[in-house]
Amino acid sequence: MGDSHLSTIFVTEQGALLKKSGRRILITKDKKVILERHFSDVARILLFGNIQLSTQLISSVLQEGIDVSFFSMFGKYKGRLVGQNSKNIYTKLSQLTYWNDKEFSLSLAKETIAYKILGQQKVLMKRRNGINITDSPIADSIKKLQKYREEVFKQTDLSKLRGVEGISSKNYFSCWDYILPEEFPFEKRSRRPALNEVNSVLNFSYTLLLNEITGILNSYGFDVLFGYYHSLKYGRISLTLDVMELFRPILIDQWVIQMFRERKLTKNIFSNNEENGIRFTNEGLKMFLAQYQKWINQIEANKLIEIYVKGLEKSYMEGKVDGIKQGAEKVLPYLL
């Protein structure tokens, strides 16, 4: 099972070496220890750029079930070293038993997307920047989101549901320019490459969240390749993407908006070139990761994700959607 008190270590110091000393992880640079943590306190490690691991540490993190993820110094995800997963074969067996049940998968997907849209509504209401929402583009978007949320439960297959979800998200992001500072125009959602700073931060934040959710799903015995909403595709961690749908607006979006509005993210922490697009500078990356870690610790993000994952586990074990409904109902009030 997961353990929400465990921490994530972010390492951005170029040339750093991670090694083992007894039951502790040491992060060193020029033979000086800059950070140390006990194995029992660490859930996952994220490395950015030129960071080295000793073979003894690699062996230990695999044995301890600690995931290690590798990123470029600009924050581009490269891959992960996955520790020993949960031995809870019954969760995986239940998951795979229902995986090909189209009706059950559709029911789970409907609940997830409906709660995601509810989260989007709440984000717009909470982050409306003092605008009178009774007469503004934000009010119009909130009303449309309610309509799309009702449409979710009328869909008869996953492809149609994805269509509703896509239109809903486009509507949601269409009014972000009204709640962000003028110096950071949003325009529209863009992924690879990100067309502006806000999209760059969203993309990177979603990648970090992806790592958190994948680690927790693995710890509960799920096979992340088999989802109920995202289709099966070579190498795609579909179940992680499914679970992440709920958490995009409530864990990431509202926080990113807040960071820009409080001017904690400024123009000088970004770089822009043809090869890498808009990304953090080295110092900007360090600053951002510190803020991100502060945020996920403050809201106990791992605990909230675990609540939802436990609900998903219950749904698969019982063959009913009640589990994830209960999980979502418990999670949303904490954040919105």
Extract the tokens encoding 304: 């909230």
306 known ligand binder: no
Rounded to 10°, the helix 322-335/102-126 angle is 10
Asked if residue 201 lies in contact with residue 288, where contact means CB atoms within 8 angstroms, the answer is yes
- Residues 6 or more apart whose Cβ sits within 8 Å of residue 190: 196, 199
Give the containing element (helix H, strand E) for 197.
helix 197-219
Looking at residue 126, its pLDDT comes to 83
Token look-up 């060193």 returns: 28
Q: What is the enclosing helix (H) or strand (E) of 333?
A: helix 322-335
- The per-residue pLDDT for 291 is 94
| Amino acid found at 328 | A
CA distance 329 to 336: 11
Query: Does 165 count as an annotated binding residue?
Result: yes
Residues 6+ away with beta carbon under 8 Å from 131: 138, 178, 179
What is the model's pTM? Answer: 0.89
149 sits in which H/E element:
helix 137-152
Q: What is the DSSP letter of 251?
A: I
Strands 77-81 and 270-273: unpaired
pLDDT along the chain (336 residues), means of 10: 67 92 92 91 90 93 88 83 73 92 96 96 80 72 96 96 97 92 88 86 94 90 95 91 96 95 92 80 91 91 94 96 95 79
Strands (E), the chain: 7-11, 17-21, 24-29, 32-38, 42-48, 52-53, 67-71, 77-81, 270-273, 277-280
Q: What is the Cα–Cα distance from 131 to 333, expressed in whole angstroms?
A: 23
- Say what the pLDDT of residue 87 is: 66
Is 197 among the annotated ligand-binding positions? no
Residue 45, both tokens: 């490690």
What pLDDT score does 336 carry? 66
DSSP assigned state of 24: E
Sign of the torsion formed by the C-alpha atoms of 19, 300, 176 and 228 = positive
Residue appearing with tokens 């033979």? 31
Domains located in the chain, CATH noted:
7-81 (3.100.10.20), 89-335 (1.20.120.920)
